[in-house]
Structure 1
Amino acid sequence: MRRVYHHFEGRAVTMGLLVDGSALTGSVQSVDWGAVCYDLLGVIPDNIYGGWIEMGWLRNTFPEPGNDLTEVERIRYARAYILEMIGGYLIPDLSRNLVHLRWLLKLVDFRRI
């Protein structure tokens, strides 16, 4: 376990959080968002706008699941549903039509979440 530090005006400030593994820090602008979506959702959105995707795409691509889903399909659906909740209710953009894929990176290890 190690502590998470935040760099502020040239100083490292401890956040008091213990982390087991790597922390997501820095910029995510160089991420291949299509690859992230394929790995975590199993599909690539038609349009990715600088890391943002349309909420409607999530709803259309991941409709209400049936009972015959595999475990992988259930996890992908859950990721899409959580991403939709984040973009629609918790941290919406001004239009509530887009959600940033950086939140999907928080859902990589679904079992720990």
Structure 2
Amino acid sequence: MGQPAGIAMAPLIRPDRHISDATNQADSYRVIRGRVNGLKKAPDARLMPYLEQARFGSAALVRTSDLRYDLLSALVERWRLETHTFYFPCGECTVTLEDVAMQLGLPIDGRPVTGVSSFTDLAALCYQLLGDSSEDDESNFTGLKFTGLKAKFGQLSATATEGELMCTGRAYIMHILGGVLMPDANNNKVHLMYLLLLADLSSVSSYSWGSAVLAVLYRSFFG
């Protein structure tokens, strides 16, 4: 069927240079770099009831994998900001809330994931919810280092109490949030604003974590 007169078809590829041009022109390949700080080992079995209660049980089973950044770069070139879809010869495709819910098991309805960006007594907050204060020497720090979080759930005592298990469960969720689900440019810390939302593990699932993950993906990965 011919195209109606006076209507121009939208180009499937952006008008600027396409990443595939590097193949024919022997140019440097403009490959994006990912920011993932995953975990290679499954969580301690004693933490799973708390992770499941918070609806992070499935996400906690996501293991570190080798990412093909060249393929991801080519995929990004097919992304159309106007429609928030990938344009392929076979049709259009996009990432939806259903994908997040099915693959990660995160809730996609409920309260929005929001938080404050400044705190008054950080040491007390970390001690109350994580069981110890941060090792960061800065008086105005806003993030927890992944190394410190890994040390916490990597050295879980065989005689850990319920309170200690809950604190360790929060540390594990914090690592998942900042290392896999919603990483930032630092790639070595997770923002403390999420910690307040984990204070009551029984109410963590009332937040729409899936929506937040999808929003961060769209903003950071697809520009």
TM-score normalised to structure 2 length: 0.37
Matched to 1:103, the amino acid is Y
State the shift of 1:28 in Å: 3.4
Larger radius of gyration: 2
CA apart distance, 1:68 = 2.6
- The verdict on how the C-alpha distance between 1:25 and 1:111 changes in structure 2, with shifts beyond 3 A counting, is closer
Offset, 1:111: 2.3
- Structure possessing the higher relative contact order (Cα contacts under 8 Å, 6 or more residues apart): 2
Q: Distance in 2 between matches of 1:25 and 1:31?
A: 18
The Cα offsets for residues 13-72 of structure 1, whole Å up to 9 and x where unpaired, read as xxxx877xxx99674314322111011011011105531121111112331535532110
Structure 2: which 5+ residue stretches go unaligned?
Answer: 1-108, 205-223
Aligned residue for 1:90?
181
Offset of residue 112 of structure 1 = 2.4
- Does residue 70 (structure 1) correspond to residue 169 (structure 2)? The answer is no
1:80-102 C-alpha deviation (Å, 9 max, x unpaired):
00000001001112132111111
- Counterparts of 1:44-55 in structure 2, within 5 Å, are 44-47=133-136, 50-55=141-146
Q: Which residue does 1:80 correspond to in 2?
A: 171
> Which 4+ stretches in 1 moved above 6 angstroms?
23-26
- Structure 1 residues 110 and 18: CA distance shift in structure 2, 3 A: closer
Change (3 A) 1:27 1:65: closer
1:38: which partner in 2?
127
- Superposed CA RMSD in Å reads 2.5
Query: Where is the strand percentage greater, Structure 1 or Structure 2?
Result: 1
In percent, how many aligned pairs have the same letter? 33
Q: Distance in 2 between matches of 1:29 and 1:38?
A: 17
The one-letter code sitting in structure 2 at the alignment partner of 1:36 is L
Is residue 61 from structure 1 mapped to residue 152 from structure 2 by the alignment? yes
Normalized per residue, the structure richer in helix is 2
Tell me if the contact between 2:115 and 2:193 (Cα under 8 Å) persists in the aligned partners: no
The one-letter code of the counterpart of 2:178 is G
Structure 2 distance, partners of 1:26, 1:81, is 19
